[in-house]
A and B are shown apart, each in its own frame.
Chain A
Amino acid sequence: QVQLQESGPGLVKPSETLSLTCAVSGYSISSGYYWGWIRQPPGKGLEWIGSIYHSGSTYYNPSLKSRVTISVDTSKNQFSLKLSSVTAADTAVYYCARCIVVVTAITYYFDYWGQGTLVTVSS
């Protein structure tokens, strides 16, 4: 059974960089699939942040692209998110998930999710 677990600071100051890590168990990242980040502000809907392949190839949400970096560490079987210059609008529950992405087969969805971690941006 694939399991994902997010970790990182629960409080980040405005203008600083939010950093989260997603540890994957039950599946080797280097075996394939994309791996992604999704966030959900309190009381609001889901927003896709970006996805990364085990080779390091990435797709980012155009609205966040200038501030987002997603990286992968296959040796630790984990991937990470960095979001720079955060504001209160970046306060959200951040989820990591496994992505099924096949552009040529018009397939793009998330089948396994972490439990999510709340990150609050406040001074």
Chain B
Amino acid sequence: SYELTQPPSVSVSPGQTARITCSGDALPKQYAYWYQQKPGQAPVLVIYKDSERPSGIPERFSGSSSGTTVTLTISGVQAEDEADYYCQSADSSGTSAVFGGGTQLTVL
């Protein structure tokens, strides 16, 4: 089955830039999406179609794509950004959604 691979954890100091990667063979052919999940809460969409930001999401969140890897970048990280982040895409047929394993972002 198709898989998306994320690092289990990323740590940054406040004000620095956090980069979370997600790798998958079908990513050159499918858009990627990113969700933020805080403890006890439902996931929230922060990036769609690789690099688009939904309304209400701070500008410090951005996304990019290069080949089989997509990256979520959080510039000027704030304490409130500490959360789990999940990438999501579709398989090559476009009919099955797939989530990455998640990355825990720690703000030191």
**Nearest Cβ distance between residue B9 and chain A, in whole angstroms?**
13
Whether A45 touches B42, Cβ cut-off 8 Å, given contacts A59-B95, A62-B1, A107-B31, is no
Considering only residues 64-108 of chain B, those with a C-beta below 8 Å from chain A are: 86, 88-90, 93-102
A45, A63, A109, most chain B CB atoms within 10 A: A109
Question: DSSP class of A's interface residues: helix, strand, loop or mixed?
Answer: strand
User: Is A51 interfacial (CB-CB < 8 Å)?
Assistant: yes
User: Is A35 interfacial (CB-CB < 8 Å)?
Assistant: no
Chain A residues with a Cβ under 8 A of chain B: 36, 38, 45-48, 51, 59, 61-63, 95, 99-100, 103-104, 106-111, 113-116
Chain B residues with a Cβ under 8 A of chain A: 1, 29-31, 33, 35, 37, 41-45, 48-49, 54, 86, 88-90, 93-102
